[in-house]
Amino acid sequence: MENNQMQGHRKRLREKYLKIGYKGFADYEILELILTYSIKLRDCKSIAKNLLFRFKTIEKVLKAEINDLQKVDGIGKETAIYLKVLGDVTLNQFYKNIHKMDIVSLKGKNELINYLKGDVGFLKSEEFKVVYLSSDNKIVCDEILFKGTIDRSVVYPRKIMERAIDNRAKGIIFAHNHPSGNLTPSKKDIELTLEMQEILEKVDIKLLDHIIVSEDSYFSFYENGLIEYF
């Protein structure tokens, strides 16, 4: 009897989605609907609410590490992997979209920031990413070059130069995350950025920005006057 009630609830949930769509659902209902396709014999509503209580938003649930997801009652390894895959699919679509854009344009810059938030903004340790741009300001590629606290002892200018030349970049954007959520650049952040700008200019490569990201926000060196280019 209880199983029949559960199946009936799941059917009504799916019919509601077909009728009114995503915007007609509360966050926990969307997450509950997603979970019904992975969890067969449990009430998914309470699990969905527990996920949101722990991670706050659907986006943060889908960006969470598999081990952290499994700490929530009712989330096994297979379901944790399923949620992680959904988050990665979304990020990959962002990645494909920004490769078609002029990253220096307002829309392109906004899309890049959203991508960076999703890519490194949720990480628990600092990672330093370099985005390489062509002469028409489109992304050639991007990569994580360094991990750990960003300073001169970790970030090697020679490595950045080598990769920029390998990718025939005409412009570069640096990005790294601050897991603490404090977006204020450190003294070492600023020193490294200005040093690299000077070095890159000698080989006719522009450092267009250095963006610090967290889960929810960002700090742009260019927008705050710490980088100037013409």
Cα separation, 216 vs 55, whole angstroms:
13
Q: How far apart are the first and last CA of the chain?
A: 71
CB 186 within 8 A of CB 177: no
Cα separation, 63 vs 71, whole angstroms:
15
Cα separation, 121 vs 176, whole angstroms:
8
CB 209 within 8 A of CB 173: yes
- Which pLDDT tens digit goes with each residue over 2-28? 576 778 888 898 988 998 888 889 999
HEC letters along the chain: CHHHHHHHHHHHHHHHHHHHCHHHCCHHHHHHHHHHCCCCCCCHHHHHHHHHHHHCCHHHHHHCCHHHHCCCCCCCHHHHHHHHHHHHHHHHHHHHHHCCCCCCCHHHHHHHHHHHHHHHCCCCCCEEEEEEECCCCCEEEEEEEEECCCCCCCCCHHHHHHHHHHCCCCEEEEEEECCCCCCCCCHHHHHHHHHHHHHHHCCCCEEEEEEEECCCCEEECCCCCCCCCC
Is residue 228 over pLDDT 50? yes
Cα separation, 184 vs 109, whole angstroms:
20
Mean pLDDT score, 165-186: 92
Mean pLDDT score, 185-214: 92
Is residue 139 over pLDDT 60? yes
Report the pLDDT value the prediction gives residue 151, as an integer from 0 to 100. Answer: 53
CB 49 within 8 A of CB 42: no
Report the pLDDT value the prediction gives residue 122, as an integer from 0 to 100. Answer: 87
Cα separation, 218 vs 111, whole angstroms:
13
The domains found in the chain, sorted by start residue, are 2-91 (1.10.150), 102-220 (3.40.140.10)
The distance between the two most distant Cα atoms of the chain, rounded to a whole number of Å, is 75
70 token code pair: 């499994």
Report the pLDDT value the prediction gives residue 229, as an integer from 0 to 100. Answer: 67
Cα separation, 13 vs 131, whole angstroms:
42
Lateral strand order in the sheet of 127-133: 139-147, 127-133, 171-177, 206-213, 218-220
Range with the poorest average pLDDT among 77-81, 97-101, 166-170: 97-101
Cα separation, 75 vs 92, whole angstroms:
24
CB 214 within 8 A of CB 183: yes
